A and B are shown apart, each in its own frame.
Chain A
Amino acid sequence: MSDLPNRKPETGAFFARDREWHAPAFTPGYKTSVLRSPQRALLSLDGTISEITGPVFGHSTIGELDNDLIHNFAKPGESAIGERIVVHGRVLDERGRAVPGALVEFWQANAGGRYRHKKETYLAAIDPNFGGCGRSITDEDGHYAFRTVRPGAYPWPNGVNDWRPAHIHFSIFGHGFAQRLITQMYFEGDPMIWKCPIVGTIPDRRAIEQLIAALDWGNTIPMDARAYKFDIVLRGRRSTMFENRPEGN
């Protein structure tokens, strides 16, 4: 699966996850979490080889238009409707090191806030030229990029009048299965962010701010697309210099 270049092999266990920084499982303001949150304590264990390892995907996994949501579902010669944007950033670990070869997958609603999904019943129209999924693999510097249209806000059945802020869902693979992460990216300046019960599951305002992409004027392409920058931080790895592992890893 892997076509990573030669690097020092990574065999250290990951930093323990700061579960005060992440949302707790039980967050009643987000109603679905009430019956889908474990009540027993998690069983804590330092990472074993089963979590330190993880799948790594080759660049051959990625098709030519996988990082272009404006065109990857559109009919030939046509394109998706909406505000054209480029979203880019780096995948780093907690030690600030680039994570090359990371698979980043993303999905989103169209410009009107409508998802292409059979369970979705929102009355905003489907865009015949927009599917809503894409993916990219980070380069040697941990960098990824994709083109899309800015998604719209949409209502959802939680409170009587709850609306999701404009957002793009992200799924990221690092180099170990313990780094597996799914999150959501929001847009700088969106007042909806601070009204959202899903955003509100995260207790620390600084953690929420880590999910807000900045308008990146420097990378905005004149007469084409504005740019947003969204960096992602995965769990860091301990150094292995004092590890005690008789069998290889």
Chain B
Amino acid sequence: MVQQLGYLKETPSQTAGPYVHIGLTPNVCDINGVYKTDLGTVMVNDKTLGERISVSGRVFDGAGALVRDAVIEIWQADSVGLYNSPSEMRGMADPNFSGWGRCATRADDGVFLFDTIKPGRVPFKDGRKMAPHITFWIVARGINIGLHTRMYFPDETEANKTDPLLLRIEHKERVDTLMATREGSTYTFDIRLQGDRETVFLDI
């Protein structure tokens, strides 16, 4: 026998189910009066620094059908690349920017929408800069464990070329699945759960 490590096992994930809105966005599903507002609906205020952008998109299943019952959360750095988190050791993030947003895909057209700012660059473990990106987490009925991915910016061509995560993608044609498209100040990021042009998901 050797010494016991004594680690606990992580609580196993289960699907968020079709009624996830009751818990995470109750005002969206007409449970009003319990919470004043749903958490994560406002990421910026008048004083937030940085370039205002909208991030919008839809989620598709393996048959190309819209996933209308998903909840998306995003997490990102502020305009100079600092996270609003106690684990951020490099400096004080913009106090007028939460960095975190939550949005349900709409029941009719399946669209999610975040009003946020374009994030600055943050370092990879070895000090190289990562390209600006937004971290995504997707849960829904039929998804047993939340899916992590990232959205990158198509107008950051040079930074994207040297991004350590994008460089790790073996099949280069799949890099495009993490790239938003831009129209004015709106970036569109569609997520494909399965099949043709399947989004790269992360074990991270």
Contact = CB atoms under 8 A, between A and B. Distances in A.
Contacts of A96: 6-8
A66 B88 contact: no
A174 B10 CA distance: 12
Contact of B75 (A17, A18, A55, A133): A55
Contacts of A17: 10, 203
Given A42-B201, A44-B203, A184-B14, A249 B22 contact: no
Contact of B19 (A73, A119, A236): A119
B67 to A, nearest CB: 7
Interface residues of B, number: 85
Contacts of A18: 9-10
A48 to B, nearest CB: 6
B203 A49 contact: no
Contacts of B90: 247-249
B29 A183 contact: no
B2 to A, nearest CB: 18
A236 B11 CA distance: 11
Interface string A35-60: 11111101111111111111111000
A45 B203 contact: yes
A59 B77 CA distance: 23
A37 B67 CA distance: 12
Contacts of A53: 75, 83, 85, 87-88
B198 A38 contact: yes
A27 interface: yes
Contacts of B24: 105, 107, 171
B185 interface: no
A207 B145 CA distance: 14
B34 A118 contact: no
Q: Interface of chain A, helix or strand or loop or mixed?
A: loop
Given A131-B26, A182-B146, A169 B20 contact: yes
B135 A183 contact: no
B34 A133 contact: yes
Interface string B12-40: 11111111111110100111011110010
Nearest to A95: B7
Given A43-B201, A44-B204, A45-B168, A181 B86 contact: no
Given A36-B193, A43-B202, A201-B144, A175 B8 contact: no
Contacts of A206: 9
A180 interface: yes
Contact of B8 (A94, A132, A181): A94
Interface string B85-98: 11111100000001
Contacts of B86: 2, 4, 7, 9-10, 56, 175
A46 B204 CA distance: 6
Nearest to B134: A50
B203 A43 contact: yes
Contacts of A182: 13-16, 20, 139, 146
A235 interface: yes
A33 B194 CA distance: 11
A25 B195 CA distance: 14
Contacts of A24: 144
A183 B194 CA distance: 23
Nearest to B202: A43
Given A45-B203, A50-B122, A246-B126, A9 B89 contact: yes
Given A116-B31, A117-B22, A133-B26, 4 more contacts: A21-B12, A23-B14, A63-B35, A247-B123
Q: Closest 5 interchain pairs by CB?
A: A107-B23, A32-B142, A36-B142, A53-B85, A248-B90
Interface of B: 6-24, 26, 29-31, 33-36, 39, 61-63, 65, 67, 69, 73, 75-77, 83-90, 98-100, 107, 122-127, 130, 133, 135, 137, 139-148, 150, 165, 168-169, 174, 193-195, 198-204
